[in-house]
Amino acid sequence: MPAIEIENNIFQIAGYELYDSVKIENETWEFIPGTTVIVEEKILSTGPCLVAIKKK
């Protein structure tokens, strides 16, 4: 998911074009584009990844 870094560990979710396309498929997103979130690094099967954990 594209995002813009606001400050350390705080990002604003981007991806409006992605959100519009999945709305048609009835998918629910926890954080919609425009939301400012706090992120932390998680280790996934593909390696380290920043993950939004809560709204700021």
DSSP string, 1-56: --EEEEETTEEEE--HHHHHHHHTTT---SS-TT-EEEEEEEEETTEEEEEEEEE-
Domains: count for the chain: 1
The domain of 19 spans: 3-55
Count CB-CB contacts under 10 A for residue 22: 12
- pLDDT tens string 1-56: 789 999 999 999 998 777 776 565 667 788 989 999 999 999 999 999 999 999 99
The confidence score (pLDDT) of residue 15 equals 82
- CB-based contact 56:38 (threshold 8 Å): yes
Closest C-alpha among 27, 26, 28, 31 to residue 15: 31
